[in-house]
Every structure is written in structure tokens, then in C-alpha cells.
Structure 1
Amino acid sequence: MTKTREHWLGYLMGALDENEQASVERQIAQDPRSAEEIEQLRTHLNLLSDGLDEAAPPVGLATRTCALLDNPGLFAEVLDPSVPDNEDAPTLKEKQPFETIGGGNPNFTMMDMMVAIGACVAAVAIFFPALASSRMLATRLQCENNLHQVGMALQEFATGNAEKRYPAVAATGPLSVAGSYAPRLLNAGHLQHPEVVRCVESTRNLSQPHELPTVEQLLEAPESEVEKLQQGLATVYNYNLGNLRNGQLQAPLMRGRALYPVASDIVVVQDGQISPQGHQDGRFNILFDDGHVEFISLEDLPNSMKHYFLNDKGQVAAGVDEDDAVIANGIAHPFSEETTSEVPASSAK
């Protein structure tokens, strides 16, 4: 598993101390994939730095400016249109349209126009792909940083209880959807800002995303309003639905496992198809139990790991045992329609 990429920007900008720089260099040497992504990041930084050379000021600009300020009368003459013109002063030549572009020739030809249009098209072809690529990288890094903060909040929650478990998804009731972990973390003070539980790409195409409900709103709302409030959890990060133990729903246990998923960018499962949402290249960030985040595609995952989104029965539902992890969209329930009838009364508390 690759390490987190928190120091890559500092490494490329020469802002790390010797130990941190040595750590990144070891990561590059050991992980060709990390080296490739660092080179991509270096390319974006080089694009941002292009064209930043400062133009030299005109010769004598400072001297002429000071002379003008030291002579208020001269300054007034420049601004006062009533001051008669100096007959000996050279007169300005009347400019013709396109004279500057045409090098003094007022006849701006079709060939000149074609050259100008071609230059503009070339500039657009170079600039906009680089701009789009830089925006995608910035969005990816922001989503990864948000997921890191969610991971730290989840670990704080788990260390605060004796069993070291993450927030539980209720078997029934207003908190019986995967996204209920988000208002619970905010309510407990482990997160300070609600926007952290969402990736910006998940709401970019929504004209007005649903407001994130609070725990109190969900618990106190009339039954007819609960589903509408739960829609505010549709765009939060995917979360682990928990697992079954002796027929009862259990919250996921924090054990520092490198291959056990806890949360991810939005990934939807529909008609047996697993579809990452948001990032244009089809990849997604995924947070693991040991706290690290990876940006991967479904093709990068072995077939066994694709069960991150389906339990061992092939359902978007709670895992069948403690090692069967399923991360699901914020409005997913821990029990599928096929297993709802199997839920014992004791697990509905």
C-alpha cells in the first residue's frame, strides 16, 4: 500500500526538512506509481510557473515620474486641456484602424486575420487542457484531504468508547442509513465543518444540494419528513454499513487494518454494476482502517476487493461477519430487501 501523499508538494517546492525529504525519496524509489504521480504533480506546478517572468520597466521611468511630481505646474499642464499647445511640439499622427497590427500598413489582409485566429486557437488548445488537468488535480487533493479529516474524526470517535468501534448505523429508524455517521461526528464535536463530509465533485452538478440534517432533526422529525431529510445524506462520503454477529447489527471495529475500508468517495451499485461518481477519470478516494487514503480505480482492485461494495452474499447490505466490509452510499440501509425479514427484534433498538 502506498503511503499518504501529504508531503509531495513540499518536496517539489523544496520546503521539507532533511528527514521528510529522505522519506519522500524512499517512497519514490520503492513505489513506481508514487513516482509517476509526483512527476504529474511536478508538471502541473511547472505549468503554473510558466510566464511569470517580470517585464523590465521602461528606462528612466522612475526619474521622469519624480520630475513630474516635483513640478506641480507641469503636472497641471498635462491635466488642463485649456493650456495652449506648443507650436514647436511634434503633432501626433492620426492612427488608422489595424495600423499597429499591420506594421504601419492600414490594409489588414485576410492572411493577417488567419494568422491571428490561428494563434488564438493554438493558445486555447494549449491553455485549456492544462487548466482542466490542474483543476482535476486540485479537486482530487481537496477530496483526499477531506477524507483524511473524516478518518481522524472516526478514529477519535472509536477511541472514545470501550469497544473501539466506529459510529453504528441503526437497524431501523431515522438513523438507519449509512450517511448517519456524518451528523453524529458533527454532533459529537469530532468535526467542525459540515462541508468536510462531502467531496466537492459530488455536488458540482447539483443546482441546490440538500442541506445536511442534524441528529436532532432526524430524530424529532415526523415520520413523513424523515426520508426527505435523509436525502441530505446522499452526497456524503460512502460509509461502512457494519456487520452481523449472532444476527445482530454491529458497528465496524477499529483495528488498524490496511485492507479494511471504512469510507470512500461516492460509489453507487445499481443492477450489479459498481459506478464511482464525481471524479471525471472514474477513480475514487478510499479510506482504510489504518487511516491511509488511496486514489484508485476499480481496475486496480483485485476481484476479492471489489466486495468492498457488496457483502459475501452479493448484496449492498451489512457484512455477514466482522471481516466482511461493505461501504455504501449515504442513503443505503444496512439490510437489503431480501434480508429485512431476517432482522431480529433485538437488533432494531
Structure 2
Amino acid sequence: MERTPRRDSLNPDDDGERDSVDLLGYLLGAVDPEEAAEIAARLECDPVLREQADRIYASLPRSDEYWSNEPPPPGLADRTLAGLESLLDSGKVPPVGASHGDTPLTPTFPLETTPDSDPVTDGSSDTASLFPMSRLSPLAASDRLPAESRNWRALEWFVGLASVAIMACLLLQALLNSRHQARLLLCQDNLRSLGRALQDYAMMHRGLLPQGDSGTPLEVAGAYAPLLAQERLISDEQVLCPSSDAALTRVSFRIPKPYELERMSPTALAYAQSNMGGDFGFTLGYEVDGELQDLSTDGSPFRVIMADLPTAKGARHAGQVINVLFDDGHLSPFHRPATPLIDDSVFVNRAGRVAPGLDPDDSVIAPSGVSRVRALEFN
């Protein structure tokens, strides 16, 4: 039977076709890569679907502070299984359910019978006369379980506990990997939304990207955030990655307004400039004959304009993944050690400096607090 699409009661323009899109599974990283790519493509061209995704994402619980940002040690489960297999192969651990031999088990409380002993009864039943409490005696040495049988039982308990521990490690590793994948997808969604905001800004400003005048508080790379927020194109959360420290304490994070930066003391201004760009770096542009050129967009699929900023430990995501946004709006995740095209060179120009590029094809992504004008002086 054909499924009838369900309309969104909150959106009168919804034609019901978006009901088949698993947005919740996409946001939680629970869909396969092929379906994730299809949903991402639909989000790129469907503003109503993006709004639905934003509402679902806003309703998701934020419990990242209870989880470690560090992935489990690689190969933990394999090493544990290998150790258990070697122990079983040594013959020191019997398989569960192995026979304990032909030694019969004796009752826990053998009866002591003597010709002169009289049954103690109260007349209520025959059982009391057959098993008087006065006739119970401690186990004789010959009646106790052999030491070998007790050892087998202890080893069975050990094997059972080891199996439970192995299963717990496997489940924990799968859960942590799932959470890292979900964080990576949410970070990619934030970077995509910034790319759309940059394109909207360029359309309103004759093809120019957000940039501040030299000699003002907005001459730094992170000025893109206050300028986009001033146009109401982005929110505070969009410049953060879910796995970052700022995201875990995002109650205290806010993109400053341009007029607020002008009123700050030098110390407060330096702090604001270093943090207002969030977890992403922005392009410094390029210079020609020592003159800094305006930041503009030409839709090049090869020129990088934004990327994840690496942390002190390397890439921000597990597996050394770095998300890169290109001028045409498409996003690609790269593994830093395995991708010579997108490695540390994206954060320096061809001269090896954190400064504007030497030509239009020399992309340089800088942290929020780097001044385009001052960086040019070091070229």
C-alpha cells in the first residue's frame, strides 16, 4: 500500500513530500552514508526542510558534558579478545559447562545417626523425627567438594565475568564512535549554514565577503561572525562545533556586536577578537604587490574560505578529520595525515607564514584574532 505523505501542521507551505526524510536519524548519525548524502543535498536546496532540521536539532538534549571528548584507545576490544583466546589455548581455563569428574556431591548437612539418639518431635509431622536439628553435624573432610572442583567453579566465574567485561567494552566503544560521528555531522551542518550565510551576504554586498576596515576592531579574520550576525544571517551556536569547549559552555558564548567592540578596553577587545570567530577559521584573502585585496567570492570550487581550526592535540574531530568549506559552498571532510592537498598548508601561505596569500589561488585560513593588515606586514 502506498504511503500517504504527512503534512507539517506548523508549515502551511509543506506539500508533505518531506515526511519521508529521516532528519532525526541524519542529525544523530544513524543513517547510512548514501542516505546521509542524499539528505544533505536536499537540505542544500530546500529552505523549509532546513528549518525543520533546525527545529529538530534545537530540541535535541545537550549532554556532551557527561561524555569524554577523547575516543577510546584504538584496538582495545581486539587486544582483550586476543588475551582471552591465549588464556583459553593454554588449557588453564576450562570451557563453561565442563564436567567436574565422577566425584559425587554430598549433602551439605549429612545426618549423624547413633543407636542411642532419640528423635525430637512435637508431633506435628514425621519430618521432624527423621531430620532432628540435634543430629546435624559439620561436614567431614571426606564429604567436602574436592579442591579441584572448587577451582573449576572459580574459573567458570572468571570466564563469565571476562565475557561480560568484553561485551561492555565493545558496546561502550560503539556508543562513543556513534557520538563522535554525530558531533562531526553537526559540525559539518554548522559550517554549511555559514557557507549559505556568506553567499547571502555576498549577494547583498556586490560579491564581497564580510571584512572590516583596517585600523578598526573588525580588521581581524573573525570579523565575519559579527558582520553576519549584524545582518541576522547566523546565530551564536552556528560558529561552534558540538565537541568544542565553547559549545559545552555555550551559555556564556555570544558573538559581540560591532559597536560593542568599539567600546571595549584593549584587554577585553583582544579577548573578544580571539574568540568571536568560534571554532572556525576564516580566509585572510591575498595581496598583490604588497596591497591587500578585498575579500570577494567568485564561486571557485578549489579556493578554501573556511575550515575547522585545529586544537593543540591536532584536528578537532576523532580520526584527524578536518572540515573544509570552499568558495562555491560545498564542504569536504579530509583526513589530515592522508591528504597532502589539505594539510597544514591551508593555514599558512606559500611563504610558510600566517598571512594573506601571495595570489588568488593561495588560500590561507587564520584564527579569529589574526589581523589581516598586521599579517600583511610579515609577508
Tell me the TM-score normalised to structure 2 length. Answer: 0.55
Structure 2 CA distance for partners of 1:287 and 1:205, relative to 1, 3 Å: closer
The structure-2 alpha-carbon separation of the partners of 1:121 and 1:10, relative to structure 1 and needing over 3 Å to count, comes to closer
Mean CA deviation greater in 275-284 or 135-144: 275-284
Which of 312, 317, 322 is the matching residue for 1:284?
322
Percentage of pairs with the same residue: 26
**Matching residue within 234, 240, 243 for 1:198:** 240
Q: Label 1:252 to 1:301 Cα distance change in 2 as closer, same or farther (>3 A).
A: farther
Q: Partner residue of 2:310?
A: 267
Return the letter of the residue paired with 2:263. Answer: E
Contact between 2:350 and 2:362, CA under 8 Å: does it hold in 1?
yes
What is the RMSD computed on CA atoms of the aligned residues? 3.6
Counterpart of 1:308 in structure 2 is: 346
Per-residue CA shift, 1:98-154, capped at 9, x if unaligned? xxxxxxxxxxx6346424422320221210111111111111111111100000000
Per the alignment, residue 335 of structure 2 pairs with 297
- The aligned residue for residue 136 of structure 1 is 180
Is the aligned partner of 1:125 residue 2:163? no
The structure with more radius of gyration: 2
Q: State how far apart, in whole Å, the 1-side matches of 2:241 and 2:226 are.
A: 16
Partner of 1:231: 274
Q: Secondary structure at the match of 1:200?
A: coil
Displacement of 1:211 in angstroms is: 4.0
* 1:139-178 alignment runs, 5 A limit: 139-162=183-206, 164-178=207-221
Q: Distance in 1 between matches of 2:301 and 2:37?
A: 29
Give the superposition deviation at 1:281.
1.5
Instruction: Note the alpha carbon deviations across 1:23-53, whole angstroms, 9 max, x for none.
Output: xxxxxxxxxxxxxxxxxxxxxxxxxxxxxxx
Letter in 2 for 1:228: Y
Q: Write out per-residue CA displacement over residues 293-335 of structure 1, whole angstroms, 9 at most, x where no aligned residue.
A: 1110233433587532211322101122333221111122224
- The DSSP-based 3-state class of the residue aligned with 1:296 is strand
Compute the displacement of 1:159 (Å).
1.1
- Structure 2 residue matching 1:267: 3-state secondary structure: coil
Question: Do the aligned partners of residues 166 and 15 (structure 1) sit closer, same or farther apart at CA in structure 2, a change above 3 Å counting?
Answer: closer
Alignment of structure 1 residues 74-85 onto 2, 5 Å: none
CA distance in 1, matches of 2:343, 2:318: 22
Question: Equivalents in 2 of 1:242, 1:15: separation in Å?
Answer: 30
Question: Cα–Cα, structure 1 residues 196 and 15, in superposed 2: closer, same or farther, change >3 Å?
Answer: closer
Cα distance change, pair 124–197 in 1 and its aligned pair in 2 (3 A): same
Question: Is there any run of 5+ residues in structure 2 with no aligned partner, and where?
Answer: 1-25, 43-152
- One-letter code of the match for 2:260? Q
Q: Which residue pairs with 1:319 in the alignment?
A: 357
Corresponding residue for residue 45 of structure 1: none
Residues 238 and 264, structure 1, Cα contact 8 Å, conserved in 2: yes
1:181 correspondence with 2:219 = no
Paired residues in the alignment total 241
**Cα distance per residue 1:266-308 (max 9 Å; x no partner):** 136x9xxxx7442121121000011111110233433587532
Task: Map 1:82-101 onto structure 2 (within 5 A).
Answer: none
Structure 1 unaligned segments of length 5 or more: list them. 1-5, 21-108, 343-349
| The one of 257, 262, 279 aligned to 1:219 | 262
Distance 1:132-1:10 versus aligned 2 partners, 3 A rule? closer
Supply the distance in 1 between the matched residues of 2:373 and 2:228 (Cα, whole angstroms). 22
Q: Is the 8 A contact 1:243 1:320 kept in 2?
A: yes
Tell me whether 299-308 or 316-325 shows the greater mean CA deviation: 299-308
- C-alpha change, 1:267 and 1:10, in structure 2 (3 Å) is closer
Q: Which moved more, 1:173-182 or 1:136-145?
A: 173-182
Contact 1:316 1:336 survives alignment (8 Å): no
Aligned to 2:64: none
| Distance change in 2, residues 1:161/1:15 (3 Å) | closer
- What is the SS of the residue equivalent to 1:263? strand
Q: How does 1:234-249 map to 2 (within 5 A)?
A: 235-245=278-288, 247-249=290-292
The one-letter code matched in structure 2 to 1:138 is: A
Letter in 1 for 2:261: L
Between 284-293 and 320-329, report the one with greater CA deviation: 320-329
1:230 match: secondary structure: helix
> Could you tell me how far apart the structure 1 residues matched to 2:376 and 2:326 are?
28
TM-score using structure 1 length: 0.59
Of structures 1 and 2, the one scoring higher in RCO (CA 8 A, sep 6+) is: 1
